[in-house]
Structure 1
């Protein structure tokens, strides 16, 4: 009798690769991903649609997008989130879940504040509420990323990243197409109506209950630090502060450079530029729809149908592909699809209003973003030392946003000067050097 053995190097079947999504720890990340994905569009592209419909200039909308730079600077306060306890809450829920609950409650309150504000009457108050949403959402991201990395070994990380991204992208559909659909549904004309947008944002605030409930259901991950002393040592307050500074801030950064040596700067360059094409284009997408004559209902209808399908396909496919091919290969695929999508936006700007072409663009945008973001999350998760999970991951994800978000702030000025066609072509072209960088790193790291 011949006994068939399976080599450790054999790839799992597609069915075996898919079963990992049935794990409870993976499902938890789906709902936390929804909680993380909901706020970002409410201070990004959905907000730009609201502002443009309210008569705010494209240049102002571009500068308004700098509110989202909160996500790029979260590494500054991530050491505090990583190490500090919250009175009463930490003792009740644990280190990660206490920060999750606090940030989720702050997000909910600030979204309600936006719903009760009018950008036409008091743009400053409106901006302050949006800023609170962004900073609280960035804090939630810090905690969820650390929670995910600490909750499971590396073999689960790709699936957890994919589940997280599926929930994240569905929330973005809800905050994007969903909020537009709600505003269109309660509006009795095509003209700007504050009440329609207020109702939409009140519903979005209610949707944050998904994350709050998940926080109570989730199990606090075990935390074991090799940096904590095995026996009590009596230190002065200054000595305790310096010890905390070393553990919370200096050690996470020095650890990364020690582990990756001369390749560290190339890795950081890839992290800092990977999503530049997508982010720079994103802030002007909804103002573009408004200027092209698309209604809230038309954009919402296409996004709800094709956006949801392609989001699920992109994130799920990205997770499965990562179990079969190298992370750099899927990073390249995602970045390439984003470049192609931006070129199609330029074609739409040339052709004019075309619902069929818009459907194709929204479909491609969601599937490419799903693959690219799932691959990117998996990539930076692998770079992260679990000892410094919150701080290092926050640094990497912040770097991903810092330069692209800054450049995106000038997108409205660029469109005013050169038009939408040149803008979309330019946003595609700046993504091409990223493809070369991925090829270079793949060759260096995988040799």
Structure 2
């Protein structure tokens, strides 16, 4: 462990060093007062009230999550995770996502979609007023620009960002209990097996999936790749469902493709790293694990490229930092909130049932991707047609 953490520290030092070496981005030549903002077209009292409402909503959501974590660590028995997701999860999503988006839409409806110039802070303004003005420019300007530009399509974009990575993100915290455990249908591999299959073979497959995604995007466009990525992310849950039932479908696939012998030979060598992995079935079990993890990571790399390409196409370069950060964080929000519920489902029904459920839930992202492809295809701009694969 000392060597492992030493290598991690070394990688962090290299990453931090890169931030000092990297060149600074070019700054806009316009003064801050010359940039567009909705601040100047909205009455100050309304601006303060709406900004304060969003700030309070975020504070309440953070407090709800913090209290649940604190209660889980201190109370015996701990509070129900599924009850938290069922009862408070929608409230958290509403306070952090729906409330700001709804208020931004209301401001656009009441005060128009045309921004004015940024209002400079006056010397006689209080510190609270300056903070609220800064929060408005940081939160509402990007949201209002995106909603004003996309119209009702902004709702579809938000829903797609919320659900696209759900199928593979929601169970990530339970991957190692599934690989290493022996209960609820877990497959009982050793840490050495998982290290080779996940951190060596799996990483290579993630890189391969990302490379394939880039090539396919250049050939058919962003939106077809977005749909394919959603389908693959959902379908790979079936690999783990089969693994939880013994891997018969994976074995049949290996035999049909005539990959069984070479993969099992390599897997048998990999299994030999672990003394606990010896035996007649070591190579076959390792081959199933490698194929399942490899398929999931290949799809994950492909889907990651697809969603990044899509999100960068819907943000405004001027507000790219805030808009992309908002949409990017939403891709993991539902999956993170769903993990307590998923953990209880594993204890009640086992891993196999959970993988089947996450497969069907992944269909939501597939449907939303198709609807977004249709919406972008109806736009007449050349950029939209190119994104849709026209």
TMscore range, shorter length: 0.5 to 0.7
Residue in 2 that maps onto 1:315 = 210
Is 1:256 equivalent to 2:146 in the alignment?
Answer: yes
Residue in 1 that maps onto 2:22 = 218
Change (3 A) 1:264 1:227: farther
What is the deviation of 1:380?
1.1
Is 1:285 equivalent to 2:285 in the alignment?
Answer: no
1:19-418 matches, cutoff 5 A: 196=1, 199-224=3-28, 228-230=32-34, 234-238=122-126, 240-291=130-181, 292-351=187-246, 354-418=285-349
Alpha-carbon distance between aligned partners in 2 of 1:246 and 1:214, rounded to the nearest angstrom: 32
User: Higher RCO, 1 or 2 (CA under 8 Å, sep at least 6)?
Assistant: 1
What is the deviation of 1:329?
0.8
Please tell me whether the aligned partners of residues 335 and 434 of structure 1 are also in contact (alpha carbons under 8 angstroms): yes
Alpha-carbon distance between aligned partners in 1 of 2:19 and 2:193, rounded to the nearest angstrom: 35
Alpha-carbon distance between aligned partners in 2 of 1:421 and 1:243, rounded to the nearest angstrom: 51
Q: Secondary structure at the match of 1:223?
A: coil
Please tell me whether the aligned partners of residues 312 and 324 of structure 2 are also in contact (alpha carbons under 8 angstroms): yes
Residue in 2 that maps onto 1:10 = none
Alpha-carbon distance between aligned partners in 2 of 1:327 and 1:235, rounded to the nearest angstrom: 48
Change (3 A) 1:223 1:349: same
What is the deviation of 1:202?
4.0
Change (3 A) 1:320 1:251: same
Q: Secondary structure at the match of 2:33?
A: coil
Change (3 A) 1:401 1:304: closer
Give TM-score, length-normalised by structure 2: 0.60
Change (3 A) 1:440 1:234: closer
Alpha-carbon distance between aligned partners in 1 of 2:359 and 2:31, rounded to the nearest angstrom: 45
Larger CA deviation: 346-355 vs 429-438: 346-355
Residue in 2 that maps onto 1:192 = none
Q: Secondary structure at the match of 1:255?
A: helix
Alpha-carbon distance between aligned partners in 2 of 1:269 and 1:214, rounded to the nearest angstrom: 35
Please tell me whether the aligned partners of residues 272 and 403 of structure 1 are also in contact (alpha carbons under 8 angstroms): yes
Please tell me whether the aligned partners of residues 121 and 130 of structure 2 are also in contact (alpha carbons under 8 angstroms): no
What is the deviation of 1:260?
0.3
Change (3 A) 1:428 1:228: same
Q: What do the CA deviations read for 1:163-191 (whole angstroms, capped 9, x no partner)? A: xxxxxxxxxxxxxxxxxxxxxxxxxxxxx
Change (3 A) 1:251 1:362: same
Q: What do the CA deviations read for 1:401-420 (whole angstroms, capped 9, x no partner)? A: 11111012222211110011
What is the deviation of 1:304?
4.0
Change (3 A) 1:242 1:421: closer
> Mind listing any 5+ residue stretches in structure 2 that lack a counterpart?
35-118, 182-186, 248-283, 379-390
Alpha-carbon distance between aligned partners in 1 of 2:171 and 2:362, rounded to the nearest angstrom: 11
Q: Secondary structure at the match of 2:152?
A: helix
Change (3 A) 1:227 1:346: farther
Change (3 A) 1:283 1:234: closer
What is the deviation of 1:206?
2.5
Alpha-carbon distance between aligned partners in 2 of 1:285 and 1:233, rounded to the nearest angstrom: 51
- Max radius of gyration: which structure? 2
**The one of 335, 349, 355 aligned to 1:424:** 355
Is 1:443 equivalent to 2:374 in the alignment?
Answer: yes
Alpha-carbon distance between aligned partners in 1 of 2:166 and 2:152, rounded to the nearest angstrom: 24
Alpha-carbon distance between aligned partners in 1 of 2:17 and 2:294, rounded to the nearest angstrom: 31
Alpha-carbon distance between aligned partners in 2 of 1:241 and 1:307, rounded to the nearest angstrom: 46
Please tell me whether the aligned partners of residues 227 and 247 of structure 1 are also in contact (alpha carbons under 8 angstroms): no
Alpha-carbon distance between aligned partners in 2 of 1:224 and 1:373, rounded to the nearest angstrom: 30
Please tell me whether the aligned partners of residues 346 and 421 of structure 1 are also in contact (alpha carbons under 8 angstroms): yes
Q: Secondary structure at the match of 1:446?
A: helix
Change (3 A) 1:233 1:298: closer
What is the deviation of 1:237?
3.2
Give TM-score, length-normalised by structure 1: 0.53
Alpha-carbon distance between aligned partners in 1 of 2:215 and 2:373, rounded to the nearest angstrom: 20
Alpha-carbon distance between aligned partners in 1 of 2:319 and 2:29, rounded to the nearest angstrom: 9
Q: How many residues align?
A: 251
Q: Secondary structure at the match of 1:354?
A: helix
Aligned-CA RMSD value? 2.2
